[in-house]
A and B are shown apart, each in its own frame.
Chain A
Amino acid sequence: MKVFLLHRNRDFDVQPPLPWNTPALTQDLELATLFGAMAGGDEFVRGVVQTAVLDSLTDVDAIRYRQDVLRDGLHNAAAVRSLYSLATEAFLEERKLRYWTVFRSPGTILHRSLDLLGAFEGLLRRLRQVADEHGNEFQSEGFTRLFATLRRELDDGYFIKLRDHLRRLRFREGMLVSAELGQGLKGANYVLRKPHDTTQSWVERIFAQKPPAYSYRLHPRDEAGARALSDLRDRGVALVANALGQSADHVLSFFAMLRAELAFYVGCLNLHEHLTRKGEPVCFPVPERADQRRHAFAGLYDVCLSLTVGSRVVGNDVDADGRTTVIITGANQGGKSTFLRSVGLAQLMMQCGMFVPAASFRANVCSGLFTHYKREEDPSMKSGKFDEELSRMSDIADRIHPNALMLFNESFAATNEREGSEIARQITSALAERGIKVFFVTHLYAFAHGLHARRSEDALFLRAERRPGGTRTFKVVPGEPLQTTYGEDLYKKVFGRKARGGCAFVND
């Protein structure tokens, strides 16, 4: 029995190797905020969405498969949530019996398994009930198949068989075990045997030719002997206990998978409710193949910012189709970082099959998402900081592949502008030539300007918008890099209009 709600033909990997840069992504894209909203207070959901969001899909069909399931889920939110809580109950049952697993002997395993299988029976029946009642309301491939599986596999005959064996496995007539001589003559290959039918009468048995046999009776105070004999008994039932233990676990792992896979969709439901309540737009993105160069969206906003402020937030419209390099320059506090984050978040959300925070969104999937942000908190001296930046870049170079998406935020500024620009140029060019898409927020004028001067069709230049007079719209619009980054805006704001030393910048 398979759940297969997250992948068409395999289980959800609960603990996949997460991207090596998970801590950086989490920090740079404020992922904790996103996960918090999706979790809605359920730690299990938090864990699952964290994994699912970070363990990106790269196959366009696989993304569409999840999008379909999620659409179904959005239409039948109540049924999805009740399936989820049913799956959660299975764990409470298992926990009650967990103490058995402390004593790992075949005898105890046998008992625990039989108890568990009994308890699961009720849950499985209720599960089938849901399938019977709501099955027809779902259309996606994933849900349709799941419900069909439930109806087919969970027939009544199952548990009748179970009870039958439970009775036999008490061994009231004694246990017959065969063995051979293993290493050092110790018994080996213990096999539980079904005794021959004893149809003879007791008189016949007494006079029948009996094969030679030797018997041993424990001394009543021989405790070591009693343990040894019980050990022998354990060896006899080992195979049977293993089979039953595994059967119980198979059922449990089915519930585990059901719970984990539904948890992802429950997380999506939570976020969806949150955003739609606020009136923020969401849409299902259109994923394109990794080797395409597509990036076009309207109304894309930073979902994490929206989750932390009361009002709706500004969205951006950008058409970067066909571009490999996007350079973002412009005013401080003008929304550059927010924009960069919204690009990264949308990419992750798209590649886990979610909706994205935008009115429309179309982009190629990437082979990996990488962030290289200026680290403010670095306490070391300047040279050490530059070192640290390059060392991080080197770590990325070890892992990045063509068709990746790379986000730089004010990188390589820890040295002087000329040298920093040269490093940024070299790195960006190398990445571009290796088919890696780069979004680069920068103040390095020589770098940005140099790229712009090349008039390349591959590069797009965006600027944080500033209206005449200095007001910021927090929008990012096409525009070539300018020499200053409106530091004087801040300067004026802080020091006032007539401040000495600031006059040189003032142009109105």
Chain B
Amino acid sequence: MATNPIHPADVAATEASFRSILWQRVEGRVERGEVPECFPDLNLDQIVEAVTAGKDEYNLRPFFHAPLDTLDDIEYRHDVFQDLERVPVLECLRAFAQRMRTMREHLTQAEKFYYQQQRDSWFLDAAALYCETATALAHDLDGAPLRARGLVAFRDYLRGYVASDRFQSLVADIQSVKQGLATIRYCILIRGDSFTVRRYEGEADYSADVVQAFERFKQGAVTDYAVSFTSARDMNHIEAAVVGFAAQLWPEEFRRLDEFRTEHREYQDGVIRTFDREIQFYIAYLEYVARFRNAGLSVCYPRVSKSKAVLCRDGYDFALAQLLIPEKSPVVCNDFYLRGPERILVVSGPNQGGKTTLARTFGQLHYLARLGCPVAGTEARTFLFDALFTHFEREEDITTLRGKLEDDLARIRKILNQATPDSIIILNEIFTSTVLDDAILLSRNIMGAIMRLDLLCVCVTFIDELASLGEQTVSMVSAVVPDNPAVRTYKVVRTAADGLAYALSIAERYRVTYDQLKRRIGS
């Protein structure tokens, strides 16, 4: 993207020197094209896919591939998010984005027309829309109780820009050309296969006559027979002939339209163009999490720190929830925490019980927190990790089992070599391809290495023994309905589920016990 040269007059006006709504320091600015390795395992790819859906033109993915490094950078984004949620500016920014998009469409469209006059007219409209958009946003932000450093700096920048001479003279030129064209009103007399164009001379409205004559029929809403004529933006040669005649009838107005385009070929400001793209990171993400809130799930701002005492209340897997909500299936929330010397969540229990989901929840929570984004749950404390490693069971050809075990080990060794004490590692069902004794032995060794490194870890396993290796490990079990182990709760808990009677526990699940019903039915 080419940026405009900044006029000397504007530099003074923009001393706040705002550059980016995503990075407070220009040197911190990173966009990464390649997808981080943990994405498929944690289903972060699905999340980013859903977040950025319909926003391809902004190319937002590189932002989601580049986590932040400092707590201050994270706070910079939290502040923006929180302002957008708190202050009613989100709608203004959406309107801003929508107008900027329309403006770009106008510009693209302008290039496609056959008739010169039509191209000029669309270019003029695009420029007008741009000015309106910038002015409207400046106006909307003015006086808004903003707290976020990024938004405040942007507002200052925008204020200065809109007040600048170059912007004001652009506005004035647009107005004068538009006003000239708006005064034109012509008449067409159609008879058989010919028509004549001349100036309008005050002839009375005949439609009004007819409408008035049938007024008394009117009652309620009926079909609207107003045929929409928006078929083509292009002109056919008859329309072009009409406009051509109009240009002959009003030569001065059409000449000024022609000149405008040559004089204002590059009218867009680079910083505003960048802001238009970057603010979509926030808007897209807030739109994305709104679906969870609407479904009654919580989203919160994680407290990110260098402490390994992590915590999540009512957490859930975004990627899973985004599939379940449209089906109206319930989303099960889980709590987990590590405190004191605890570092490793060992998750065991029956299959299909929500173990992997818990592991993903943990991973997503940490990754998204490092992007400076709100996360799933009512409360979350996360660790500012340096790298997040995942090792998930890969589907493999049954005939190469030996290769698979070797491959597993090689991958884990590579991970352990790269990991520092600030890393996170998520292991999901490792060593399922060997006999139990082997699996126990290998797992104990790996866990030992992890404990020595003091890594934060989630380990999903079928090996119960791993749950009690030391004070660093915490056991979590996927719970079932006690009387009917076939029924999964998808709850993963630190302690075993309590012994509720079968029928009542089902009733509770459907929220039809006495207490629940009374709460649900308003009095």
- Contacts from A to B (Cβ < 8 Å): 1-2, 11, 104-106, 109, 153, 158, 161, 165, 169, 174-181, 183-187, 191-196, 211-218, 220, 224-226, 228-229, 231-236, 238-247, 249-251, 253-254, 383, 386-387, 390-391, 393-394, 397-398, 400-402, 415-416, 419-420, 422-423, 426-427, 429-431, 433-436
Q: Say yes or no: is B201 at the interface (Cβ < 8 Å to chain A).
A: yes
Interfacial chain B residues near A243, Cβ < 8 Å: 207, 210-211, 214
Interface residues as binary, B109-120 with A (CB distance below 8 Å gives 1, 0 otherwise): 000010001100
Name the residue of chain B whose CB is nearest to the CB of A161.
Answer: B213
Interfacial chain B residues near A165, Cβ < 8 Å: 210, 213
The answer, among A104, A192, A228, A244, for a CB contact under 8 Å with B238, is A228
B204 CB to nearest A CB, Å = 5
Please determine whether B188 and A232 come into contact, CB atoms closer than 8 angstroms. yes
B404 CB to nearest A CB, Å = 38
Please determine whether B517 and A397 come into contact, CB atoms closer than 8 angstroms. yes
The answer, among A194, A249, A427, for a CB contact under 8 Å with B209, is A194
Dominant SS at the B interface?
Answer: mixed
Name the residue of chain B whose CB is nearest to the CB of A172.
Answer: B191
Please determine whether A240 and B210 come into contact, CB atoms closer than 8 angstroms. yes
Please determine whether A253 and B220 come into contact, CB atoms closer than 8 angstroms. yes
Please determine whether A426 and B507 come into contact, CB atoms closer than 8 angstroms. yes
Please determine whether A244 and B214 come into contact, CB atoms closer than 8 angstroms. yes
Please determine whether A423 and B503 come into contact, CB atoms closer than 8 angstroms. yes
Name the residue of chain B whose CB is nearest to the CB of A195.
Answer: B203
Interfacial chain B residues near A185, Cβ < 8 Å: 117-118, 121, 181, 235, 243
Name the residue of chain A whose CB is nearest to the CB of B246.
Answer: A181
Please determine whether A429 and B514 come into contact, CB atoms closer than 8 angstroms. yes
Q: Which of B94-139 contact A (CB under 8 A)?
A: 113, 117-118, 121-122, 125
A391-B510 contact in complex given A161-B213, A214-B248, C-beta closer than 8 Å: yes
CA distance A11 to B239 in the complex (A): 46
Q: Say yes or no: is B294 at the interface (Cβ < 8 Å to chain A).
A: no
Name 13 interchain pairs, CB-CB below 8 A, sorted by A: A183-B122, A186-B235, A187-B239, A213-B197, A218-B193, A224-B236, A228-B236, A246-B225, A253-B220, A390-B510, A397-B517, A427-B517, A435-B523
A248 CB to nearest B CB, Å = 8
Interfacial chain A residues near B245, Cβ < 8 Å: 214, 216
The answer, among A106, A192, A242, A254, for a CB contact under 8 Å with B224, is A242
Stretch of B29-37, B150-158, B226-234 with 4 or more beta carbons under 8 angstroms from chain A: B226-234
Interfacial chain B residues near A177, Cβ < 8 Å: 187-190
CA distance A401 to B211 in the complex (A): 48
Name the residue of chain A whose CB is nearest to the CB of B513.
Answer: A426
B243 CB to nearest A CB, Å = 5
Interfacial chain A residues near B503, Cβ < 8 Å: 386, 415-416, 419-420, 422-423
A194-B205 contact in complex given A161-B213, A187-B239, A215-B195, C-beta closer than 8 Å: yes
B67 CB to nearest A CB, Å = 41
Interfacial chain A residues near B201, Cβ < 8 Å: 196, 211
Q: Say yes or no: is B198 at the interface (Cβ < 8 Å to chain A).
A: yes
Name the residue of chain A whose CB is nearest to the CB of B236.
Answer: A228
Please determine whether B520 and A387 come into contact, CB atoms closer than 8 angstroms. no
Q: Which of B44-93 contact A (CB under 8 A)?
A: none
Interfacial chain A residues near B113, Cβ < 8 Å: 184
- Contacts from B to A (Cβ < 8 Å): 113, 117-118, 121-122, 125, 181-182, 184-201, 203-207, 209-211, 213-214, 216-220, 222-227, 229, 233, 235-239, 241-243, 245-246, 248-249, 484, 487, 501-504, 506-507, 509-515, 517-518, 520-523
Please determine whether B510 and A211 come into contact, CB atoms closer than 8 angstroms. no
Name the residue of chain B whose CB is nearest to the CB of A402.
Answer: B523
Please determine whether A251 and B217 come into contact, CB atoms closer than 8 angstroms. yes
CA distance A238 to B487 in the complex (A): 64
Please determine whether B197 and A430 come into contact, CB atoms closer than 8 angstroms. no
- If A246-B214, A391-B510 are given as contacts, then 20 extra A-B residue pairs at C-beta distance below 8 Å, sorted by A number, are A158-B216, A175-B189, A177-B188, A180-B185, A183-B122, A186-B233, A192-B207, A195-B203, A213-B196, A213-B197, A214-B248, A220-B193, A233-B190, A239-B226, A240-B210, A246-B224, A247-B218, A419-B503, A434-B517, A435-B523
Interfacial chain B residues near A391, Cβ < 8 Å: 510
Top 10 A-B pairs, shortest CB-CB distance = A245-B225, A174-B191, A430-B517, A419-B503, A228-B238, A213-B198, A426-B514, A193-B203, A239-B207, A249-B222
Interfacial chain B residues near A183, Cβ < 8 Å: 121-122, 125, 233
Interfacial chain B residues near A242, Cβ < 8 Å: 224-227
The answer, among B196, B225, B501, for a CB contact under 8 Å with A241, is B225
Interfacial chain B residues near A161, Cβ < 8 Å: 213
Centre residue among B209, B235, B242, B517 by max chain A CB count within 10 A: B517
The answer, among B192, B226, B233, B513, for a CB contact under 8 Å with A238, is B226
Name the residue of chain B whose CB is nearest to the CB of A176.
Answer: B189
Name the residue of chain A whose CB is nearest to the CB of B231.
Answer: A231
The answer, among B213, B217, B227, for a CB contact under 8 Å with A105, is B227
Please determine whether A434 and B190 come into contact, CB atoms closer than 8 angstroms. no
Please determine whether A215 and B193 come into contact, CB atoms closer than 8 angstroms. no
Interfacial chain A residues near B512, Cβ < 8 Å: 390, 393-394, 397, 423, 426-427
CA distance A370 to B242 in the complex (A): 66
Please determine whether B211 and A238 come into contact, CB atoms closer than 8 angstroms. no
Please determine whether A232 and B195 come into contact, CB atoms closer than 8 angstroms. yes
Please determine whether B222 and A229 come into contact, CB atoms closer than 8 angstroms. no
CA distance A211 to B118 in the complex (A): 26
Please determine whether A232 and B190 come into contact, CB atoms closer than 8 angstroms. yes
Please determine whether B200 and A436 come into contact, CB atoms closer than 8 angstroms. no
The answer, among B122, B197, B238, B517, for a CB contact under 8 Å with A426, is B517
CA distance A174 to B190 in the complex (A): 6
Interfacial chain A residues near B194, Cβ < 8 Å: 215-218
Please determine whether A178 and B227 come into contact, CB atoms closer than 8 angstroms. no
CA distance A415 to B227 in the complex (A): 62
Name the residue of chain A whose CB is nearest to the CB of B196.
Answer: A215
Please determine whether A229 and B227 come into contact, CB atoms closer than 8 angstroms. no
Name the residue of chain A whose CB is nearest to the CB of B481.
Answer: A383
CA distance A165 to B206 in the complex (A): 11
Interfacial chain A residues near B222, Cβ < 8 Å: 246, 249-250, 253
Interfacial chain B residues near A153, Cβ < 8 Å: 216
A99 CB to nearest B CB, Å = 16
CA distance A16 to B523 in the complex (A): 26
CA distance A249 to B238 in the complex (A): 34
Please determine whether A106 and B186 come into contact, CB atoms closer than 8 angstroms. no
Name the residue of chain A whose CB is nearest to the CB of B240.
Answer: A185
CA distance A423 to B508 in the complex (A): 10
Please determine whether A240 and B207 come into contact, CB atoms closer than 8 angstroms. yes
Please determine whether A226 and B193 come into contact, CB atoms closer than 8 angstroms. yes
Please determine whether B198 and A106 come into contact, CB atoms closer than 8 angstroms. no
Interfacial chain A residues near B515, Cβ < 8 Å: 430
B364 CB to nearest A CB, Å = 30
Interfacial chain A residues near B195, Cβ < 8 Å: 215-216, 229, 232
Name the residue of chain B whose CB is nearest to the CB of A430.
Answer: B517
Please determine whether B210 and A196 come into contact, CB atoms closer than 8 angstroms. no
B23 CB to nearest A CB, Å = 39
A129 CB to nearest B CB, Å = 21
CA distance A133 to B502 in the complex (A): 72
Please determine whether A249 and B514 come into contact, CB atoms closer than 8 angstroms. no
